[in-house]
Structure 1
């Protein structure tokens, strides 16, 4: 009879992980949907994403970290809500695939000839430049420059660009409204000691009226993993409190996490460790831990758990880096790791970072590694 119950228990565990995997995939699909429009600055994409996350927090049973789940703030941003037309040698190009406009560019409407500067760069007019690139990588700007720069996908051009027509609309928003989304599972024994799990939910939004950047690996995967962990900890409260923060405006320069550190909803001294998840949708080639050399004892602990259970093929150590939302916490003395995985599709900051090509290869193993690491931190 005891053996029977053990079999049933392990089958239940297996089924639970299958259910969590389904939930994780559904979260990724929602966050990368056309409705949320790249979780950015046009068509209310970021606002809709924040509202979705607040609803999920409530369903899971998280307590607000402050008076409510959202922590509002604002910042300036350059957006491209409408016209996005570029034609080279009379042929209209596809935004995101054939070209991108530099994020700090002003709007422009011109038709002119192109003068080569070298084999990759062309001068149109003093207010318009063109460059050929091996990869089109977009980002977010918090100011507007004086020159519009168009980047062309080098692989899509066999003929020399000689003439360009552009009609691009930009809109600068000096006080774009955003919000971090913050929740908490209260600790059973030491509620003032807090472990934090973070992931930024914003992405690049849209470029024009018809093109958006899905951001599956960056960072729908991180948010989906965070929500799955929130479900687990809500069902299994720990001695320490476990906090969950989905940051806005990471892509605009880590603005959401900086705002939280400057306006903390919990005392920073109460945070015993922070794990930041960004770009965790792959893993077949291992993972990297930023701040590994800053906190060698914690990194050794993480490695010991991984070596014992063979979760991840390789954990690469990396030093301090201001490359994600862990950074400002570390600067204020909060111990933190930034985890990202390797392998799989190479799409990054482009229109090809899609949910259908996101493998989530090591989701279950990363989940177990994080739970095991947090357990050790509480011993």
Structure 2
């Protein structure tokens, strides 16, 4: 098979070992090299259960092995799970499938660094993506194209591997469980399965760090950190170790990534994210658009946080008020990608979808929505509350700040 041949060649050329001081040393693999492999066309977008995803799993397992991590899956480094895709987004996933049609098998990849400590820190990132444009794709082209998912989420896996290398040498106050999750794009399936079928004692889990889309740090160095309210010490440690980033904090332990599964298991979590962009869930999410220097900065920042917490013992868990519980339901969309890292007044537009209401009205990337209909927009929540009052076909006016000017446009809403 072509993909397996590529992996074998990669192993022979990349994982070059030499003997020194009676220890085997492996040539250091850069963050960029990991991303380039995982987001290559040959892996065909790493959709859950495909040959491309299996090839990525083999690669990550080999990286774990050469970093000195022991296997902690149910079959070596691998923990497989079979399921039927949900037909109703609100239904529970059936992981136990017998001779079922359309059954998919995902594979979590799990490595363990045993420091003989009492507690274990879980560090994870999902590695699956959308293949040629599975459900969730925002691409509207006429022909299928590979969604390589360089930022989403080869970036998180690469930073996780970089952290594993650093932690193999220092900070022995905890054990470390490194996990590459499958099935995230289909509903956090791999992390959810692990928490229900854990290969370690989860009562000994200290806290969980998740990285999902950490590859596009912007010039202002804005970095979102979610989950800071899930343990009393987290806000302080996030702030104390920061000298380079503009941190946007969110207390909630619930969000659209794998940290949610661990928060729901009463484990403190921190989720790191550099923001959405116009290539999100599209074929344009490719390797050349990533900020590799920024990813290295994030890796160092996480290492410093872990180092600071090394002698803190087991962190207490705290439930948070989950903002998603109060999110208004809406039937229409403006057709924009919000800038979730913007902390000014209003809702800044980070991208405009083709042939949607915003584009037809002449709204642009960088516009800041300050009024929608009769409602003032001061932040993301007020924007969503305003949007929830409209139905398909409704017409209103939107006011945006564009540079130093206020611009008014007519909007006709389309179905979300």
Does residue 206 of the first structure (1) align with residue 132 of the second (2)?
yes
Deviations 1:157-186 (A, max 9, x none): xxxxxxxxxxxxxxx962211110000111
- Cα distance in 2 between the residues matched to 1:320 and 1:66: 25
Matches within 5 A, 1:118-129: none
Shift of 1:368: 1.6
Unaligned runs of 5+ in 2: 1-26, 88-92, 95-99, 135-142, 312-416
The counterpart of 2:235, out of the listed 274, 277, 299, is: 299
TM-score by length of 1: 0.65
- Cα distance in 2 between the residues matched to 1:173 and 1:200: 25
The counterpart of 1:196, out of the listed 122, 133, 136, is: 122
More strand by share: 1
* Residue 72 of structure 1: aligned partner: 80
* Residue 260 of structure 1: aligned partner: 194
* Residue 29 of structure 1: aligned partner: 36
Shift of 1:191: 2.3
Task: State whether residues 77 and 173 of structure 1, in contact with CA within 8 Å, keep that contact through their aligned partners in structure 2.
Answer: no
Shift of 1:339: 1.1
Deviations 1:122-148 (A, max 9, x none): xxxxxxxxxxxxxxxxxxxx99xxxxx
More contact order relative to length (CA 8 Å, sep ≥ 6): 1
Task: State whether residues 76 and 175 of structure 1, in contact with CA within 8 Å, keep that contact through their aligned partners in structure 2.
Answer: yes
* Residue 184 of structure 1: aligned partner: 112
Matches within 5 A, 1:56-67: 56-67=63-74
Shift of 1:326: 0.7
Aligned residues: 264
Does residue 327 of the first structure (1) align with residue 260 of the second (2)?
yes
Does residue 244 of the first structure (1) align with residue 155 of the second (2)?
no
Shift of 1:65: 1.8
Unaligned runs of 5+ in 1: 1-18, 79-103, 105-141, 144-171
* Residue 217 of structure 2: aligned partner: 283
Task: State whether residues 156 and 211 of structure 2, in contact with CA within 8 Å, keep that contact through their aligned partners in structure 1.
Answer: yes
TM-score by length of 2: 0.59
Specify the SS of the correspondent of 1:36. helix
* Residue 363 of structure 1: aligned partner: 295
Residues 1:312 and 1:253: Cα distance change in structure 2 (over 3 Å)? same
- Cα distance in 2 between the residues matched to 1:358 and 1:184: 28
Task: State whether residues 150 and 287 of structure 2, in contact with CA within 8 Å, keep that contact through their aligned partners in structure 1.
Answer: yes
Shift of 1:237: 5.8
Matches within 5 A, 1:93-108: none
Shift of 1:323: 1.0
Aligned-CA RMSD value: 2.5
Does residue 312 of the first structure (1) align with residue 259 of the second (2)?
no
- Cα distance in 2 between the residues matched to 1:292 and 1:376: 15
Task: State whether residues 217 and 358 of structure 1, in contact with CA within 8 Å, keep that contact through their aligned partners in structure 2.
Answer: yes
Specify the SS of the correspondent of 1:225. helix
